[in-house]
Amino acid sequence: MSKSLGIFVTNPDQFKHVMGITKAAKAKGSNVKVFFTWDATHNAKKEAGFPELCKIADDVSICVDSYKNMGYDIDDIPEGLEAKKMATQAQHGIIIEDYDCYLSL
């Protein structure tokens, strides 16, 4: 079984790295989950590559409370994301518990 990688993203300036790491991990056969929280939720609306990330990674979700606190309407689902992926911090717990490797950016 291939390794799995969970990426916890809090810094909005790290999107390019999130994309690069995700592509590299997928190329090696890893299962990748990315969770955006706090300021990094801006990436869901401001990064043109966000929909592509949603296609590449096995699972992408964002913290709905952080999204709301950053001034976005929670009913305005970012392109590429399913409504059910507007989630809670439990997604962070899933990364910690269920993924072989953990990266925080």
Residue 15 sits in a domain of what CATH number?
3.40.1260.10
Kindly list the distances between the CA atom of residue 97 and the CA atoms of 4, 63, 90, in Å, as whole numbers in the listed order: 11, 18, 10
pLDDT-derived band at 69 (thresholds 50, 70, 90) equals: very high
- Asked if 9 and 37 touch (Cβ cutoff 8 Å), the reply is yes
DSSP 42-57: GHHHH-TTHHHHHHHS
Q: Give this prediction's pTM.
A: 0.95
Domain count of the fold of the chain: 1
Q: Could you report the per-residue pLDDT of 5-50, keeping only the tens digit for each?
A: 999 999 999 999 999 999 999 999 999 999 999 999 999 999 999 9
Task: State the Cα–Cα distance between residues 20 and 85, nearest whole angstrom.
Answer: 22
Domain that holds residue 47: 4-104
Return the structure tokens found at 98: 């269920």
Q: What angle do CA 4, 11, 95 make, to 5 degrees?
A: 25
pLDDT the model gives residue 99: 96
How far does CA 85 lie from the centroid of its chain? 9
